[in-house]
Amino acid sequence: MEYAPVSYRRTARPLVRLPSGQSVSVTVHRYVGGDGPTIYLQATQHGIELNGPATLCRLHTELIDRSLAGTVVVVPVVNPLAFDHRSYITPAAYDAHNPNLNRVWPGRDDGSLQERLAASLWPLISSADAVVDLHTGTADMLEHVRHFRGQPAATELARTFGTDYRLVDELESNADFDQGTLRAAAAHADVPAITVELENSRQVVHSAVETGLRGVRNVLAAQSVIDEPAIQPPEQIVLDRDGHTVSATESGLFELDSSVAVGDRVEAGEPLGVMYSPSTFETLETVRVDGEGIIYSLARESVVVAGERVAAVGVPL
Ligand SMILES: [Zn+2]
């Protein structure tokens, strides 16, 4: 490790070309110090997840004037197409096949627009020693960090980041859901990566930004990129993310019980709410939890189609 004053460079990286001839590029910040690891931080794969770029903006003011051992590469808005449309996914006009950027990694040079976009960014990720992908959930999701089971370096990154909850899942068994996520592609390339879900979308929320900044700063300290001790994060509650998914068996209007909230410990059979017909007012079903655990997310919309997930319950490990 060798600490040296930061040499800072900001560049525009062209990713893809639109039909009009305009190119889509992202801003890449590089903070280069002395010898050491390369840490890649990105945010805003989904256009409404704003506490990621807000976190990285705060980090910028901390990194610009200090010494580092290693390099920090930051892309605050990896999906400008979704961001500018204030949309979670990318508008279908750009890529009808792959509306979700976080399902196409590592991308393809000759693929759809989003696959090309991912492929253009991939070298920054595959050459890193550690990757932090910042997202945000909603008020109906517990703030947490995620990593795959059986990957010590990613586990340590997630532990160091230090949110109250850490969700663990399987790279292989969950392949359908996680296929093409940045985290899965990085795992296949042997790059330790974590997904962070800060609280709240569509708004910059100070508490989320503080959690994000504390997390990335702690990751950099633990990797000795910044010369300060990593703060021992509080004990995390570790949940098996592949716990229980509570799905509706009927379509209708779902009304959650007023006493139910994320973070609740629940038992098998416990009722979560009632599905009824908004037209005839008939009760169609009482939706119940099928196993014990902690609710880490709840449906954010009350119109529910049969088979749709209304809650996710993680099993404490
Ligand atoms: Zn996201």
Query: Are residues 303 and 205 located together in one domain of the fold?
Result: no
pLDDT at 314: 95
Instruction: Compute, in angstroms, the gap from residue 3 CA to the centroid of ligand 1.
Output: 34
Query: Which of 183, 217, 235 is a domain's end point?
Result: 235
Same domain, 96 and 158: yes
Is there a single domain that holds both residue 209 and residue 249? Answer: no
Last residue of a domain, one of 201, 235, 269: 235
Terminal-to-terminal C-alpha distance of the chain: 36
Mean pLDDT of the chain: 94
pLDDT at 54: 98
pLDDT at 176: 54
CB 285 within 8 Å of CB 248: yes
pLDDT for the residue numbered 177: 55
- The pLDDT-based confidence of 52 (bands split at 50, 70, 90) is very high
Range of the domain at 194: 4-235
For residue 227, the CA-to-ligand 1 centroid distance in Å is: 31
Q: In the chain, how many domains are there?
A: 2
Contact of 94 with 83, CB cutoff 8 Å: no
Task: For residues 44 and 82, give the distance between their C-alpha atoms in angstroms, rounded to a whole number.
Answer: 9
Cis ω for the linkage preceding 91 (within 30 of 0): no
Q: From ligand 1's centre to the CA of 17, what distance in Å? A: 24
From the CA of 266, how far away is ligand 1's center (Å)?
A: 26
Q: How far is the CA of 100 from the centre of ligand 1 (A)?
A: 9
How many angstroms separate the Cα of 189 from the Cα of each of 10, 16, 179, 184, 192? 27, 23, 14, 9, 9
Distance 65 CA to ligand 1 centre (A): 30
CATH of the domain at 292: 2.40.50.100
Ligand 1 center from residue 281 Cα (angstroms): 35
Based on the fold, state whether residues 101 and 150 are members of the same structural domain. Answer: yes
CA of 49 to the centre of ligand 1 (A): 6
- The CA 25 to ligand 1 mean position distance, Å, reads 20
Find the helix or strand (DSSP H, E) in which 160 lies. helix 152-161
- Select the highest-mean-pLDDT range: 52-66, 138-152, 238-252, 289-303: 52-66
Residue 102 and residue 11 share a domain? yes
- Tell me the C-alpha distance between 220 and 217, whole Å: 5
**Percent of the chain at pLDDT above 90?**
89
Q: Which helix (H) or strand (E) holds 53?
A: helix 51-63
Tens of pLDDT, residue by residue over 24-50, are 999 999 999 999 999 999 999 999 999
Report pLDDT for 179.
80
Ligand 1 centre distance from Cα of residue 289 (Å): 25
Q: Is the pLDDT of residue 1 over 80?
A: no
Q: Are residues 256 and 301 in the same domain?
A: yes
Q: Tell me, yes or no, whether 223 and 136 share the same domain.
A: yes
10 CA to middle of ligand 1, Å? 24
Does residue 289 register a pLDDT over 80? yes
State the distance from the centre of ligand 1 to the C-alpha of 112, rounded, in angstroms: 20
The span from the CA of 265 to the CA of 160, in Å, is 25
- Measured in angstroms, how far is the CA atom of residue 46 from the centroid of ligand 1? 5
Same domain? For 224 and 287 the reply is no
Where does a domain end: 212, 235, 258?
A: 235
Q: Which of 14-23, 174-183, 201-210 has the lowest mean pLDDT?
A: 174-183
Q: Among the listed ranges 107-116, 225-234, 244-253, which one has the minimum average pLDDT value?
A: 225-234
CA 80 – ligand 1 centroid, Å: 14
pLDDT in tens, 210-221: 999 999 999 999
- Residue 292 pLDDT more than 80? yes
**Distance in angstroms (rounded) separating the CA atoms of residues 197 and 139:** 11
Instruction: Please tell me whether residues 223 and 304 are part of one structural domain.
Output: no
Instruction: Give 195 Cα–ligand 1 centroid separation in angstroms.
Output: 9
Of the listed ranges 6-15, 56-65, 90-99, 280-289, the one predicted with least confidence: 90-99
Reduce the DSSP state of residue 23 to 3 states and report it.
strand
Q: What CATH number has the domain bearing residue 178?
A: 3.40.630.10
State in Å: Cα 94 to ligand 1 middle: 19
Give yes or no: residues 274 and 137 share one domain. Answer: no
If asked whether residues 76 and 196 sit together in one domain, one would say: yes
| Distance (Å) from CA 83 to ligand 1 centroid | 12
Confidence of residue 103 (pLDDT cuts 50, 70, 90): very high
- Assess whether 58 and 83 both reside in one domain: yes
